[in-house]
Amino acid sequence: MKISLQNYSNSKAGTIRGRTVVFTWFCVCVFVASIIVAGAEAAWFKPFNVTYDHRALIIDGHRRMLISAGIHYPRATPEMWPDLIAKAKEGGVDVIETYVFWNGHQPVKGQYNFEGRYDLVKFAKLVASNGLYFFLRIGPYACAEWNFGGFPVWLRDIPGIEFRTNNAPFKEEMKRFVSKVVNLMREEMLFSWQGGPIILLQIENEYGNLESSYGNEGKEYVKWAASMALSLGAGVPWVMCKQPDAPYDIIDTCNAYYCDGFKPNSRNKPIFWTENWDGWYTQWGERLPHRPVEDLAFAVARFFQRGGSLQNYYMYFGGTNFGRTAGGPLQITSYDYDAPIDEYGLLNEPKWGHLKDLHAALKLCEPALVAADSPTYIKLGSKQEAHVYQENVHREGLNLSISQISNKCSAFLANIDERKAATVTFRGQTYTLPPWSVSILPDCRSAIFNTAKVGAQTSVKLVGSNLPLTSNLLLSQQSIDHNGISHISKSWMTTKEPINIWINSSFTAEGIWEHLNVTKDQSDYLWYSTRIYVSDGDILFWKENAAHPKLAIDSVRDILRVFVNGQLIGNVVGHWVKAVQTLQFQPGYNDLTLLTQTVGLQNYGAFIEKDGAGIRGTIKITGFENGHIDLSKPLWTYQVGLQGEFLKFYNEESENAGWVELTPDAIPSTFTWYKTYFDVPGGNDPVALDLESMGKGQAWVNGHHIGRYWTRVSPKTGCQVCDYRGAYDSDKCTTNCGKPTQTLYHVPRSWLKASNNFLVILEETGGNPLGISVKLHSASIVCAQVSQSYYPPMQKLLNASLLGQQEVSSNDMIPEMNLRCRDGNIISSITFASFGTPGGSCQSFSRGNCHAPSSKSIVSKACLGKRSCSIKISSDVFGGDPCQDVVKTLSVEARCITITNGSFQL
């Protein structure tokens, strides 16, 4: 590709000399347009083959550079899927990636579920209908911070089974499920050679980290898994991520924050990045991780700079761990992951927009990237380097058009210095590179994108704290506090959960049984109850020695609650931690009741089938007159689950619940059920329940289990001002110190009615339901800050190539600010605008010494009343240069409002 920009460069003022900028787009147009046409058929694609060589995946005879977006279908609702896929496509991705969740598809041995949130076929067809490819990671082990790593719990009960090793019972079940998925995809005509979107499959997942734990049997298992996958005849390539010894016909891939240095185990395999961690998961009681988009874009650009060809964002949309799907130990209900699309389906700006521009820049480089077998490396400084892709020779085996074998050249200039900017010379021109950044030159001359220069808008997510509820309950039954927060209602009903054995299905057995062997993960809860006899001599012994008996357990997970005679006396939280609890007994017989709770089953590690839950090791009571009591031998009575779960209190039609009206003196109370009804406003703003007033428990809306909640507080220290420069890790840019890890819980709009939504809360520790409120999420504030030294609008360059334009005017090369409200919203006001040298950041902008007086009026004229607008970053636009010989910046803050039936909703 040749781009003649007449000396356009990233000079200090970013000016353009000459009136017309000529782009020779031939190669780009033919290459990209053929891709668009291939995906623009009325129904999916024409059948095409997928192969690969050492450089890239080859789709229908053409090498491709691919951007993939991770979206896990069960972490959203089917009603959300079309919008998520459309936003991913608009963001410039080519592929949608997902794991397949075995325990969701086969909750009971021999019974399959491919409906609702697990309708994998529907999800795949939606991907296809958007003209995108599909990358299916069958596994079937997923990890993914998903309950039990995606394995069904019934699997561990098969005699003689050992997971993920050369074990016949496991291999039999694994092959049966993987075959089921592959055959289903084939029956639905979803593979590429059938005209479907599936271009890539994965078997196993990150097994290389654990393989040594299984010795030689692990190595044999890897060979078997690869052979089994290939034997299914899917007709597309298979990958194994983080698997250095992946067999010859399987592509080994990289999962990490950075994969630009990764090399597969064969020169015949391309470089794939199956998990680019653009955020991180969160556990209860921990801070919230955040990965700056400057660093994320740097990692992606470096990957393609150094020979990569397929990169997948983990996650592009994280979503929600509805129900009891969150993994362990202690994964929270939100799986937002700081992804480009947030948990509620809103764009996470500027991450989404900056990556969109990056993807457009990479698309302009794609003809050169696929034409070259490898880049030419040029050292530009001690920590600066260039990689150049250029080739003029036709390669055997690839179906290239005449234009594609013409001269093509693209370059990446990197500054890996973590602190200092650098000025480098490349092909006779100088370029200034910010620290820890990559500049992209699609024509080996003109820098059109730099990973550290973020021109995309910032969207500030607001939560409707003063939301007026339109409940049909009497106004006197609504609760409004002194802050104006509108809570659901004072009209609550309540009923107590029995603290002990409550049903005939309980059983009595000798000793302590392992939690999962009893519950089969049908509930988080397992009750253990026994009786302890205390003599008068014991009471006197404790008084004389100022002592108390103590319960001592070698190891427990995740939560242990200890009750004596129906009263809660202590809690232990942790992952296989020692438990010591002081007890208080009365003379005679005392009921000792233990409740063990899981908060997500182990999702990662070797031998997870042996991990289990509940109580492990010795259990005894110390401090009696005659020594300790060994509790591993007496009879215990066991009860799985809660009465409210068994009677389905979360369903409106449930009976025998014994509901009574809640009175203020009944709260706070442990192990209590609450119910009420609430309304939500119309519109499309996402809805959440604010459960900050509660303790720990679970919540249901209209029978849908929205997940576990817990107001466990994160450490007060460890949060700091985030600097994108330098290698990222999950502890680098954390937020939310000293606050509950999660207080807002997503309730999908499709689960709601306009009125009388049925809310049920199970509270374990004594929260106050009168403080619960409904919140709306909206991106009501949008900000942007763009300098004259920034690059031209990326989408205009890409669109010009797609439309086959031969020339792009110099006017279109001027940097541009773009502002956009979400669908159904318009820009209602400009709260700040300054063209000159403004300071500060979004929500705290300030004027500098240089300011164009017309700034606000110019921006208002361009933007008010519109969903989106653009403003050129030019002195001409703002009535002249407010300060000569200074690089000017435009900073804007705007507010969006909802349009309802053609009118504004303030």
Supply the residues annotated as catalytic. 206, 275
Sole residue written with tokens 């590709």: 1
- DSSP 8-state class, residue 815: -
Distance in angstroms (rounded) separating the CA atoms of residues 578 and 529:
20
Residue 877 in 3-state DSSP?
A: coil
Is the preceding peptide bond at 329 cis, omega within 30 degrees of 0?
yes
The answer to whether 57 and 310 are in contact (CB under 8 A) is: yes
Of the candidates 847, 705, 814, 611, the one whose C-alpha atom is nearest the C-alpha of residue 15 is 814
The answer to whether 73 and 81 are in contact (CB under 8 A) is: yes
Quick count: other Cβ atoms within 10 Å of Cβ 576? 16
- DSSP 8-state class, residue 651: S
The percent helix, strand, coil of the chain (3-state, each to 5) is 20, 35, 45
Distance in angstroms (rounded) separating the CA atoms of residues 696 and 621:
28
Sole residue written with tokens 């990446």: 412
- Ranges of beta strands (E only) in 38-147 are 50-52, 57-59, 62-64, 66-71, 95-99, 133-139
DSSP string, 524-536: SEEEEEEEEEE-H
The answer to whether 556 and 615 are in contact (CB under 8 A) is: yes
85 torsion bin: left (phi>0), alpha (psi -120 to 50), beta (else): alpha
Distance in angstroms (rounded) separating the CA atoms of residues 639 and 306:
58
- 3-class SS letters over 866-899: CCEEEEECCCCCCCCCCCCCCCCEEEEEEEEEEE
What would the two tokens of residue 477 be? 């039954």
Quick count: other Cβ atoms within 10 Å of Cβ 879? 14
What would the two tokens of residue 65 be? 């550079």
What would the two tokens of residue 279 be? 């955020």
- Ranges of beta strands (E only) in 718-851 are 744-747, 757-763, 773-787, 807-809, 816-820, 825-836
